[in-house]
């Protein structure tokens, strides 16, 4: 990342006649006033492409409460198809996608097993506690972003001990953000799903970047999510440097 933070094809460096490190602009590639700079602080700073803006502006509209919005209906149907799930519901953010999934599956006082630093734990304003009324049991993960299967098994609470919060859900993140976005392969996803289901609880996948995992692993999203009971994902900005705007999300 060079100099000031800028994004997108319209972003330009300062229009100074002299380069930043003293060379005569625009002969230096680093100092050229027309050089596009890429903001690598986060993929959340990306913007929709002109095509995406046009598609949004021209989208057919209807009353979503009556199920009359053809665009939202098509989006939900496509999301369900891609994820291989019964149904999908468009929501306005990834945080809302995760929260609605937890609300649908975790009872008040329940406990969620998740990886240390999971987005839902560390970056969603503790909504699992405030809104869902649940606790989280956090497990370490390895350099591939994976929690050990035995550790997950051992993290389940004793259902016969009424002092303990009932284990209610296992959560995975794919790609796994804190390990520099390692993609979790289908074998591991299925194995975690089996552990969750053996313990009688659902698996939720925070798939904010599941399409990146799918590309990296050459595995369809529906296959990666085959064992998941719910998943959230985000929609990508195809022309951005890394991949996505921070505004369009869907929940399957």
Ligand X SMILES: Cc1ncc(COP(=O)(O)O)c(C=O)c1O
Binding site for ligand X (CB under 6 A): 44, 93-95, 98, 119, 173, 177, 206, 208, 246, 249
Ramachandran region, residue 75 (left: φ > 0; alpha: ψ -120 to 50; beta: rest): alpha
Of the candidates 154, 159, 109, which has an alpha carbon nearest to the alpha carbon of residue 134? 109
Range list of β-strands (E), 1-53 = none
How far is C-alpha 84 from the geometric centre of its chain's CA atoms? 17
Kindly state the smallest distance separating residue 144's Cβ from ligand X, in Å: 16
Q: Which is nearer to ligand X, 38 or 96 (CB)?
A: 96
CA atoms within 13 A on the CB side of 196: 26
CB closest to ligand X, residue no: 94
In whole angstroms, the minimum distance from the beta carbon of 213 to ligand X comes to 11
Min. distance of Cβ 98 from ligand X in angstroms?
A: 6
∠ Cα 166 168 171 (to 5°): 135
Nearest distance from residue 16's CB to ligand X, in Å? 34
User: 16 vs 42, which CB is nearer to ligand X?
Assistant: 42
């Amino acid at each position: 990342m060079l100099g000031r933070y800028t994004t997108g094809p319209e972003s330009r460096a300062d229009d100074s006649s002299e380069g930043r490190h003293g060379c005569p602009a625009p002969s230096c590639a680093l100092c050229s006033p027309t050089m596009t700079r890429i903001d690598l602080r986060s993929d959340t700073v990306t913007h929709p492409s002109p095509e995406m803006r046009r598609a949004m502006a021209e989208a057919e509209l209807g009353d979503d409460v009556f199920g009359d919005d053809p665009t939202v209906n098509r989006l939900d149907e496509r999301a369900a198809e891609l994820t291989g799930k019964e149904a999908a519901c468009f929501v306005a953010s990834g945080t809302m996608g995760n929260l609605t999934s937890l609300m649908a599956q975790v009872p008040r006082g329940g406990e969620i097993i998740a990886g240390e630093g999971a987005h839902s734990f560390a970056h969603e304003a503790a909504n699992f506690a405030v809104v869902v009324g649940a606790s989280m049991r956090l497990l370490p993960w390895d350099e591939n972003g994976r929690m050990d299967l035995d550790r997950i098994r051992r993290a389940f609470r004793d259902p016969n001990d009424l002092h303990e919060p009932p284990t209610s859900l296992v959560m995975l993140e794919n790609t796994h953000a804190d390990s520099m976005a390692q993609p979790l392969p289908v074998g591991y996803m299925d194995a975690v799903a089996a552990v969750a289901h053996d313990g009688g609880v659902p698996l939720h996948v925070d798939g904010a970047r599941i399409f990146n995992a799918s590309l990296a692993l050459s595995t369809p999203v529906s296959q990666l999510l085959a064992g998941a009971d719910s998943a959230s994902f985000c929609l990508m900005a195809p022309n951005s440097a890394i991949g996505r705007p921070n505004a369009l999300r869907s929940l399957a």
